[in-house]
Amino acid sequence: MKPLFLIILLAVFSTSCKVDPEIKPELPAEGISEVIPEGWPQPYYRFTENVLTTDRFKLGRALFYEPMFSADNTVSCGSCHQQFAAFAHSAHQFSHGVDGRLGTRNAPALQNLAWNPSFMHDGGVNHIEVFPPAPITNTLEMAETLPNVVLKIGSSAKYQALFRKAYGDDTVTTQRMFKAIAQFMGTMYSYNSKYDQVKHGTASFTASEQSGYSLFVQKCASCHQEPLFSDYKFRNNGLAVNPTIRDSGRTHITRDLADLYKFKTPSLRNIELSGPYMHDGRYMTLMDCLNHYTNSITPGATLDPSLSTGIQMSTQEKTDIIAFLKTLTDPQFLTDKRYSEITP
Partner 1 sequence: MRLSLFLMVLAVAVSCKKAAVAPPEDLPPLNGAPASNASLKLNISHVGNGNPLVLDPASTYTTTNGDTFSVKLFKYYLTNVKLTNLAGQVVTLPGTYFLVDESDPQSKAITLPNVPAGDYTGISFLIGVDSARNVSGAQTGALDPAHGMFWTWNSGYIMAKIEGSSPQSGNSLGDISFHIGGFSGVNKGIRTVTLPFPINAHVHAEHQTQVNMTGDVAKWFSGVNTIDFAFTFDVTTISSRSRSIADNYAGMFTVTSVVN
Query: Cα 231 vs. chain centroid, distance in angstroms?
Result: 14
CB of 35 to partner 1, least distance (A): 17
User: How many chain residues are in contact with partner 1, going by CB under 8 A?
Assistant: 37
Distance set, CA 157 to CA 64, 130, 171, 249, 342 (Å): 17, 25, 12, 41, 17
Residue 60 or 266 with smaller CB distance to partner 1: 60
DSSP labels, 184-200: HHTT-----SHHHHHHT
Distance of alpha carbon 126 from alpha carbon 123, whole angstroms: 7
Footprint on residues 105-144 left by partner 1 (CB under 8 A): 120, 124-130, 133-134, 136-138
CA–CA distances in Å: residue 228 to residues 122, 206, 271 = 18, 22, 12
Spell out the residues 6+ positions from residue 3 whose beta carbon is closer than 8 angstroms to its own.
Answer: none
Distance CA 174, CA 95 (A): 25
Cβ nearer to partner 1, comparing 127 with 282: 127
Looking at residue 260, its amino acid is L
Asked if 150 touches partner 1 (CB under 8 A), the answer is: yes
In angstroms, what is the minimal distance from the CB of 78 to partner 1? 19
Q: Please identify, using beta-carbon distances, which residue of 76 and 193 lies nearer to partner 1.
A: 76
Among 104, 174, 197, 210, binds partner 1 (CB under 8 A): 174
Residue span 6-45 as binding mask against partner 1, x where in contact by CB under 8 A, dash where not? -----------xxxxx----------------------xx
Name the minimum Å distance from CB 39 to partner 1. 21
Residue 107's Cβ-side half-sphere holds a number of Cα atoms within 13 Å equal to: 28
Closest CA to 118 of 275, 251, 223, 263: 263
Q: Which residues contact 292 (CB under 8 A, 6 or more apart)?
A: 237, 238, 239, 278, 283
| Distance (Å, whole) CA 26 – CA 141 | 35
Question: Which residues ranging from 234 to 273 are in contact with partner 1 (CB under 8 A)?
Answer: 252-253, 255
User: What single-letter DSSP state applies at residue 99?
Assistant: G
Residues 193-222 as x/- pattern, contact with partner 1 by CB under 8 A: ------------------------------
Q: Which is nearer to partner 1, 140 or 287 (CB)?
A: 140
Shortest approach of partner 1 to residue 6 CB, angstroms?
Answer: 23
As measured in angstroms, the least distance from the Cβ of 280 to partner 1 is 17
Which of 139, 175, 222, 332 lies at the binding interface for partner 1 (CB under 8 A)? 175
Output the smallest distance, CB 98 to partner 1, in A: 16
- The CB-of-267 to partner 1 minimum distance in angstroms stands at 21
The CA distance from 84 to 266, in Å, is 18
Stretch of 23-31, 169-177, 190-198, 271-279 lying at the interface with partner 1 (CB under 8 A): 169-177
CB atoms within 10 A of CB 42: 9
The residues binding partner 1 (CB under 8 A) are 17-21, 44-46, 48-50, 120, 124-130, 133-134, 136-138, 145-147, 150, 173-175, 178-179, 182, 252-253, 255
